[in-house]
Amino acid sequence: MKVGVVGSSAVDIFAVSKFFRPQLGDQRSHIVLEHGSQLWLDNAINEPGGDGLIASLVFARQANTTQLLTRIANDLYGDIIKTIAAEEHVQLMGNIHTTQTHTDTTLHLRSASQDQTILHFTGSYLRLNKADLANLRPDIDLLHIASLPTEKSLLNKLLAFAKRNTIEVSINPRFIHTLPSKALLKILRACNIVVINQDEASLLLGTYCSCIEAAEKLSRAGIGHIVVYCNDAQSVVVKDSVAYIAQEPPKNKSIDGSGAEAVFAAGYVEQFVKSANVGLALSHGLRQAASVKTIIGTRSGILKQPVFDTLKITTKTL
């Protein structure tokens, strides 16, 4: 399968120190560092990040021809991303360099526990523009939008491109506050598969919803194939008025949740497009997500072979 991914690329830096444990304040817990001091890290690990790059790695590891449309800068982190893309056989499309900003970077301040404080910079992907879309190739089978571009017009152009070339479109909208809910819903209706997490779904619907409620409501709002990812709890798919409810068994100890949703989304979409089987797709997506949670960073946890086990799935006709 030939896949085109549109989304952000970043370098995730995991800085590990006991000083990143919370100190209890009056109201909230804080990381407290002596300002003006030097703090020796126990470890510092650079890993690929950004939803677009992570999704590309999932597609590429399943032997799909994978192209990524993204934006990075001509700097150290841009170089790291280019090296990783080359190693993983992900083709970076077009002139991806931006001169106006640094490459997107995320600094994870971690202590021994899984919780962390994340400092993130989003600059280069925001520079994705209409001219970049000319780099998309019409011979792809699937267009996966892993991060929302900042402008609605870019999304509309992506959808128009897919329609013109009869390409299936999947989308995993993150940080949905960048678009008004009504406009975003209209775009989601035009996609073949929508993968969204429970929090974002609740935001989109304007009220807190459980996984099942969110999936049902978004299905009723006109999204034909909706997948609601609920982290370690239930994940739900509603397609053709049938709800598929899966429970991810917590087999492995979760170390780091970074990238898990992007991996789940790409894993689900990849298997569904290949097999048209919701059960297989859910199983594969959840296993991929569970695997990346067992290590710090995402890349080395992404599975090369699909995993289909006896994931319990219940169905319900709506």
Partner 1 sequence: MLTKDQIQMLAIGDVVTDAFIQLLPAEAEIEHDQKRHPLLCMTYGTKIPFQDAIVINGVGNAANAAVASARLDLRTAYISDIGDDRVGHDILRSLRDNHVSTEFITIHKDAKSNYHYVLWYGADRTILIKHEDYNYHWPEIRSHQKPDWIYLSSIGSSGKAIHIGLMQYLRKNPDIKLAFQPGTFQIREGSKKLQELYTRTNVFVANKEEFQQILESNSTNEKTLIHKMHSLGPETVLLTDGPKGAYGSDGKQIVFMPPYPDPKPPLDRTGAGDAYASTFTSAIATGKGLQQALAWAGINSMSVVQQIGAQAGLLNQSEIEAWLKKAPASYKATVV
Q: Looking at this protein, which amino acid is placed at residue 59? A: F
Please answer whether residues 299 and 57 qualify as being in contact, where contact means their C-beta atoms are separated by less than 8 angstroms. Answer: yes
The nearer residue to partner 1, 34 or 139, going by C-beta atoms, is: 34
From the CB of 236, what's the least distance to partner 1, in Å?
Answer: 25
Q: Does 76 bind partner 1 (CB under 8 A)?
A: yes
243 interacts with partner 1 by CB under 8 A: no
Residues facing residue 238 across a β-bridge: 226, 243
Residue 39 in contact with partner 1, rule: CB under 8 A: yes
Asked if 117 is part of the footprint of partner 1 (rule: CB under 8 A), the reply reads yes
Q: Smallest distance from the beta carbon of 165 to partner 1, in angstroms?
A: 36
Q: Please, how many CA atoms are within 13 Å of residue 250, restricted to the half-sphere of its CB?
A: 8
H/E stretch holding 97: strand 97-98
| DSSP code of residue 232 | T
32 touching partner 1, by CB under 8 A: yes
In contact, 314 and 275? CB cutoff 8 Å? no
Smallest separation (angstroms) from partner 1 to the CB of 150: 14
Measured between alpha carbons, how far is residue 109 from residues 16, 112, 298 in Å? 6, 10, 16
**Partner residues linked to 90 by β-bridges:** 66
* Window 194-233: contact mask with partner 1 (x via CB under 8 A): ----------------------------------------
Binding pattern for the stretch 126-165 against partner 1, x by CB under 8 A and - elsewhere = ----------------------------------------
DSSP 8-state symbol, 74: S
Is residue 121 within the footprint of partner 1 (CB under 8 A)? yes
Interface pick for partner 1 out of 2, 89, 102, 157 (rule CB under 8 A): 102
Quote the CA–CA distance of 80 and 193 in Å, as a whole number: 31
Interactions with partner 1, residue window 10-29 (CB under 8 A): 13, 15, 17, 22, 25, 28-29
Helices 181-189, 198-205: inter-axial angle, 10-degree rounding: 120
The contact set with partner 1 (CB under 8 A) reads 13, 15, 17, 22, 25, 28-41, 43-44, 75-76, 79, 101-102, 105, 107, 109, 115-123
